Amino acid sequence: MAIRSEPITINLGPQHPSTHGVFRMRVTFDGETIIDVEPIFGYLHRGSEKLAEERTYTQVVTLTDRMDYVSSMLNNQGYILAVEKLCDINPKPRGVWLRMIASELQRIASHLVAIGFLIQDLGAWGTPLTYAMREREKILQMFEMLCGARITNSYLRPGGVFMDAPSVFWDVLDSFIASFPKSIDELEKLITSNEIIFSRTKGVAVLSSKDAIDASITGPILRSTGVDWDLRKRDSYDYYDDVEFDIPIHEAGDNYARYLLRVQEIRESLKIVEQCKKNIQPGLVRPHHDEVPDLLKPPSGDCYVAIEGSKGELGFYLVSDGSIAPYRWHVRSSSLINLTLLKDMLVGTLFGDLFVTFGSIDINMGEVDR
């Protein structure tokens, strides 16, 4: 005879360390099984979109840094591409290669954070996270060489990047490309075939491809359900057409597939960085001031540009009224939209799987709330 139980509602967050920022959930349990999840966000809302309306197009770059603060370079790239489309700017090839290197490195760093914290949420306190952070540190050091900052980069400018990479950067990048596969092998040895991780993540929080497409989920979560969708291939921007890389796909759609897919994407990103480095030619990294003035005044109109961010489709919608500041700036943040299926993924799983699933979705509250 089953024990009669009553559902109990618990409030998790917004100050919970496992919620990756200030995220709150109202979870209803029946025993240990989740029967309802209600995500509540908005605790980190800073009004970036409104702030942009009174800043010039170059100044808004600094706001994009602070959206998804573990992948600032990618935010920079998406925004700059939108500005370039709006103002019809022809970027300099060297600048484009450099920003591709930067954004692929950033994708690696962001996925490393995702993997590290996923395992951290599983209860492996510290160790795998430290391994992931150790590798990320190397990337952040390279960013420091490029732009003097590690998190809030503001490296990109309309038409390219703000300054050429220093010569020492290339040596460091070389040694990084040479040593990184070994490090990622090591991380995989630690995690991929671990039985505890198998039992905790395989078959947990399964998402079907139909649900994912219906909820317009993008990024690694969509690809882990078996849908071949990557904007770098589908709607190629910058020079992604000229480099060769594969898009890893998994069918399972569970937490383990999401983890494995990120590891494989890291390897592909490294391939792209290698090819970018081969293709880069000397030249200007940004157009001269006479070509592209510092104070941009795009013609009135609007444009939408989406890139494949580390967490999914990162879209920027800009409306210009012909003045020096955007009339409206809207960000289609992948983290926010990927959160919408949280309830469908979690209902029926156990309490212990809640934060694991949350970690495997890899959201960033800075991007959710903006």
Partner 1 sequence: MIGFGLIKGLLVTLRNLFGPIFTVQYPDKRAGIFEYAKFRNKSISRIFLDERKNFFLAILNYVKIPVRNEQFSRFRGNEFVWYDDRCTACASCAKYCPLGIIEIETHPGGENLQAGENYEIDKFSIDTGRCMFCGLCVEACPYDALHMGTDFEKGTYIRDDLVLDKETLISQKKNPSSWFRPQFESSEYDPWKESLPDSKKAGRHEKPTDEDIKRNWVNKRSKSE
Q: Name residues whose C-beta falls within 8 Å of residue 355's C-beta, 6 or more positions apart in sequence.
A: 18, 19, 121
**174 scored as a contact of partner 1 (CB under 8 A):** no
Q: In 3D, which of 86, 85, 66, 87 has the Cα closest to residue 76?
A: 66
State in Å, rounded, how far the first CA of the chain is from the last one. Answer: 50
User: Which residue stretch of 106-114, 194-202, 242-250, 309-317 sits at the interface with partner 1 (rule: CB under 8 A)?
Assistant: 194-202
**284 makes contact with partner 1 (CB under 8 A):** no
Q: Does 288 bind partner 1 (CB under 8 A)?
A: no
Query: x-or-dash pattern for partner 1, window 4-43, by CB under 8 A?
Result: ----------------------------------------
Q: Does 290 bind partner 1 (CB under 8 A)?
A: no
Yes or no: say if 91 and 84 are a contact pair by the CB < 8 Å rule. Answer: yes
**63 in contact with partner 1 (CB under 8 A):** yes
Q: How far is the CB of 145 from partner 1 (least distance, A)?
A: 5
Could you give the CA distance from residue 170 to residue 175 in angstroms, rounded to a whole number? 9
Q: Decide whether 33 or 56 has the Cβ nearer to partner 1.
A: 56
Residues of span 120-139 touching partner 1 by CB under 8 A: 127, 131, 134, 137
Q: Is 195 in the site for partner 1 (CB under 8 A)?
A: yes
The reply to whether 191 sits near partner 1 by the rule CB under 8 A is yes
Is the distance from CB of 356 to CB of 204 less than 8 angstroms?
yes
Burial of 44 (0-12, 13-18, 19+ CB in 10 A): middle
Between strands 313-320 and 301-308, the pairing is antiparallel
Number of residues in contact with partner 1 under rule CB under 8 A: 35
256's CB contacts (< 8 A; 6+ apart) are: 197, 198, 201, 202, 203, 204
Least distance in angstroms from the C-beta of 184 to partner 1: 12
Q: Are 94 and 164 spatial neighbours (Cβ–Cβ below 8 Å)? A: yes
Q: Does 190 bind partner 1 (CB under 8 A)?
A: yes
**Distance in Å, CB of 128 to partner 1, minimum:** 9
Stretch that binds partner 1, among 15-23, 104-112, 193-201, 299-307 (CB under 8 A): 193-201
Q: Which two tokens stand for residue 80?
A: 């700059």
Tell me: does residue 196 bind partner 1 (CB under 8 A): yes
Which of 319, 274, 337, 254 minimizes the C-alpha distance to 108? 274
324 in contact with partner 1 (CB under 8 A): no
Rounded Cα–Cα distance for residues 257 and 264 (Å): 10
145 touches partner 1 (CB under 8 A):
yes
Which residues here bind partner 1, judged by CB under 8 A?
55, 58-59, 61-63, 65, 127, 131, 134, 137, 141, 144-149, 152, 154, 162-163, 166, 168, 186, 189-196, 198, 294
